[in-house]
Amino acid sequence: MKKELFKGSIFLNPVPAVIITSKNREGKVNAFTVAWIGTVCTNPPMLSISIRPERLSYEYIKETMEFTVNIPNKYQVREVDYCGVVSGRKINKIEQLNLKIENGYHISAPFLVDLPINIECKVKTIIPLGTHDLFIAEIQGTHIDKSLIDEKGKIHFEKANLISYSHGEYFPVEKMAIGQFGFSISKNKIINEKFKHIKFYEEYRKDKKKRKKILKKHKK
């Protein structure tokens, strides 16, 4: 694989694209989109978002130290984009987009009811980095669309039609998994059978034609 070297820049892809809701002290609500988000700790459960200080949501979140992460599905990508490019200083985006909100359970910020996953967070630390400040927050609770939960209580995010953001574009995530955590060393027959067509790269490299064949088989 021949490579070209680029200067330091943002090439981590794909990343999530989510709508953040927050409420200021006066009770005003805003929604804006971030892609600079990540899980930062398993226990206590924490995530971080990065925000430019010029943003209205920066003010709101700094006032109350609370926000909610709303994860969209692929039918909501226009809303995601709109909340990322239009400022809450000019337009009430929630009204404009007719987004239904409901009061948070653990925090004062509301969540977007029609987005399948809503994660309520309390900010613990804010670290200025440059163009963006990093908000590190503890997860208080999560609302998940009931239709994604089976009778055994297992959550099926693969049915949620989630999206990814990559280099300026939004993409759906495919529905069929090509592996699960630990499958590469699994001794479980069901897991091994399920992913037996997924090879080590070594094998794909040996035979480029095989790659496409395996891929086609997977799509069926």
Q: Report the site for its own copies in 28-47 (rule: CB under 8 A).
A: 35-47
Positions in 137-196 near its own copies (CB under 8 A): 138-147, 149, 155, 157-158, 160, 162-164, 166-185
Q: Looking at 64, 65, 81, 108, which residue binds its own copies (CB under 8 A)?
A: 81
Q: Which residue, 60 or 145, is less far from its own copies as judged by CB?
A: 145
What CA–CA distance (Å, rounded) separates 178 from 211?
A: 13
Q: How far is the CB of 29 from its own copies (least distance, A)?
A: 18
| Phi and psi angles of residue 101, each rounded to the nearest 5 degrees, phi first | -120, 155
CB of 101 closer than 8 Å to CB of 147: no
Q: Between residues 24 and 110, which has the closer beta carbon with respect to its own copies?
A: 110
Instruction: Give long-range contacts, CB 8 A cutoff, 24+ apart: 169-176.
Output: 170/17, 170/74, 170/77, 170/80, 170/81, 171/14, 172/74, 176/218
CA angle centred on 115, ends 111 and 116, rounded to 5°: 110
Residue 38's identity, in one-letter code, is G
CB of 209 to its own copies, least distance (A): 13
Build a one-symbol-per-residue string for 45-74: x at contacts with its own copies by CB under 8 A, - elsewhere.
xxxx-x------------------x-x--x
Cβ nearer to its own copies, comparing 24 with 123: 123
- State the nearest-atom distance from the C-beta of 15 to its own copies, in Å: 6
Q: Which residue's CB is nearer to its own copies, number 25 or number 216? A: 216
Q: In whole angstroms, what separates CA 195 from the centre of its chain?
A: 25
Is the preceding peptide bond at 16 cis, omega within 30 degrees of 0?
no
| CB neighbour class for 42 (10 Å; exposed up to 12, middle 13-18, buried from 19) | exposed
Among 26, 190, 202, 220, binds its own copies (CB under 8 A): 202
Q: Which is nearer to its own copies, 62 or 159 (CB)?
A: 159
Interface pattern 95-134 for its own copies (x via CB under 8 A): --xx------x-------xx-xxxx-----x-x-xxxx-x
Q: How many CB atoms lie within 10 A of CB 61?
A: 28
CB of 63 to its own copies, least distance (A): 22
